[in-house]
Amino acid sequence: MRFKVKKFLYPCGANDERKEMNLIIDEHFADAEINRHLVLAQMDKGKPISTPIYYLCIYLNYLDEHGLEAVDVKMSDIQDFLQEIYIDGLPYAGKGKPCSYAVIQDYIEALSKLYDNLTLRGYKMDESLYTRSQMMMLAPAKTRKKAHVLGRNEHLTMVHYLTYMFSPNQNDVPKSAYVKWYSAEQINAIADALPLVYRCIFLDTVYVGHRVGGALSLTLDSVDLYNGTVTPTKSKTGKIHTSYIPAPLIEDMRQYLIEVRRNIATDSNAFFIGRNGKSVTYQAYRMALESARITVNKKYGWNIEALHTHAGRSTFAAALRTYQLDCRRNGIPTFSDVDFCNLMDWKSLDSLKHYDLINRIHEISPLIKELYSNFDSVVEKNGNLINVDVERV
């Protein structure tokens, strides 16, 4: 993680006394813009603030994963962050479990105070963050209307109003206890229930193993449908590698480019775009999955309680792990656990324990088996292909 919370003795007061405060460091150096806000918030406190600062640290690390800085975000970016921790959770926030409604409100309050403070200090941010009153204050003099006096409890940015966008009824939120992966029948049914753009994103997580953020980061020049490879521009650990995609998904992506993307007026280089010509957002994908869940449950009489955005990736890992272990049991040369971690963009072998399927054999998707039985190279790391001798099945 790029950002961490650390205690400091900060000089303040007439006698230059040192006061203990929690501040955020950016790879060993204090982050000036954020910490000015945190210093002011703790100046008159009897003890250091803790929870809100950790929330801000989690938020900053999320932005860093998506190539964003705090002063460059749009309201949609903040909403995507809140939706993700509310519905799916983050591995470095609350032990990976989805946050409660009350915690989401605390996040919103912490973020609202941060952006209100940045506004007061003159930072220029995206227009979507400003309230109508603040936009009037920032407007050129010739178009400025009568001056507006800020009320005591009035906010300068729109972040505060996100509090009304989350349901306080936890029964409306997908449960955290869910099936970790899907069967081949469920994959096909869910894919058929999704619009083509979301179908391609979903199948990318299932058959290529990308995180949703990685799939959404694909650009036109990072997808090579002729050679059947994709290279995300973002990853959780910062390791970028090229992955192969099966032929059926190549055809779906070609169909999307011809029938959907070509008919949308846009100058965006993003591979997956919505009708507005902008990159598909996490929230839009999340809503599409929820609609598909309702559709397949009704059509097939299933009881899928939640379609979590990362479960497709888990399906890929489970099937690939089963294939790897099956090869080992039959004496067939296959890729190593290190290769597996490189492919899945995992930091350590510890992640494999969740997919140790020796006593819990998972159905191997025919597409995954075919894909990894016909390629000698399964992962590219730091620009060098790792060659794996896999016997043809």
pLDDT tens readout for residues 2-43: 888 888 777 776 666 777 888 888 876 656 778 788 887 777
Which pLDDT does position 180 carry in this prediction? 63
Q: Is the pLDDT of residue 172 over 80?
A: no
Which pLDDT does position 334 carry in this prediction? 83
**Residue 67 half-sphere exposure, CB side, CA atoms within 13 Å?**
9
Question: pTM of the full predicted structure?
Answer: 0.60
What does the block give as tokens for 384?
A: 């060098």
Q: Is the pLDDT of residue 275 over 60?
A: yes
For the chain, give the mean pLDDT: 78
Q: Which of 204, 223, 222, 224 has the alpha carbon at shortest distance from 213? A: 204
Q: Which of 188, 231, 209, 175 has the alpha carbon at shortest distance from 314? A: 209
314 near 206, Cβ under 8 Å?
no
- Most confident listed range (16-30, 175-189, 196-210, 303-317): 196-210
Q: Is the pLDDT of residue 363 over 50?
A: yes
d(CA 37, CA 23): 10
Which pLDDT does position 44 carry in this prediction? 72
Give the range among 49-58, 135-144, 273-282 with minimum mean pLDDT: 135-144
167 near 173, Cβ under 8 Å?
yes
Strand 377-381 with 243-244, pairing = unpaired
Tokens 């009035």: give the residue.
Answer: 154
Cα of 53 vs its chain's centroid, Å? 21
Which pLDDT does position 309 carry in this prediction? 77
Cα distances (angstroms) measured from residue 130 to each of 109, 134, 262 = 16, 6, 34
Cα distances (angstroms) measured from residue 384 to each of 115, 229, 380 = 42, 15, 6
Give me the count of residues in the chain.
393
Per-residue pLDDT band for 163 (boundaries 50, 70, 90) equals confident
d(CA 23, CA 6): 6
Cα of 189 vs its chain's centroid, Å? 24
Q: What is the side-by-side strand order in the sheet with 229-230? A: 223-224, 229-230, 243-244
Q: Is the pLDDT of residue 314 over 60?
A: yes
Q: Which of 76, 78, 68, 104 has the alpha carbon at shortest distance from 89? A: 104
Choice between 114 and 18, residue whose per-residue pLDDT is larger: 114
203 near 249, Cβ under 8 Å?
yes
Give the range among 111-115, 164-168, 338-342 with minimum mean pLDDT: 164-168
What does the block give as tokens for 323?
A: 């294939």
Tokens 């979590």: give the residue.
Answer: 308
Spell out the SS3 assignment of the chain: CCEEEEEEEEEECCCCEEEEEEEEEECCEECHHHHHHHHHHHCCCCCCCCHHHHHHHHHHHHHHHCCCCHHHCCHHHHHHHHHHHHHCCECCEHHHCCCCHHHHHHHHHHHHHHHHHHHHCCCCCCHHHECHHHHHHHCCHHHCCCCCCCCCCCCCEHHHHHHHHCCCCHHHCCCCCCCCCCCHHHHHHHHHHCCHHHHHHHHHHHHCCCCHHHHHCCEHHHEECCCCEECCCCCCCCCCCCEECCHHHHHHHHHHHHHCHHHCCCCCCECCECCCCCECCHHHHHHHHHHHHHHHHHHHCCCCCCCCCCHHHHHHHHHHHHHHHHHHHCCCCCCCHHHHHHHHCCCCHHHHHHHCCCCCCCCCCHHHHHHHHCCCEEEEECCEEEECCCCCC
What does the block give as tokens for 26?
A: 């950016």
What does the block give as tokens for 120?
A: 């007061």
Q: Is the pLDDT of residue 144 over 50?
A: no
d(CA 194, CA 201): 10
Per-residue pLDDT band for 393 (boundaries 50, 70, 90) equals very low
Q: Which of 304, 310, 191 has the alpha carbon at shortest distance from 246? A: 191
Choice between 101 and 249, residue whose per-residue pLDDT is larger: 249
Which pLDDT does position 283 carry in this prediction? 80
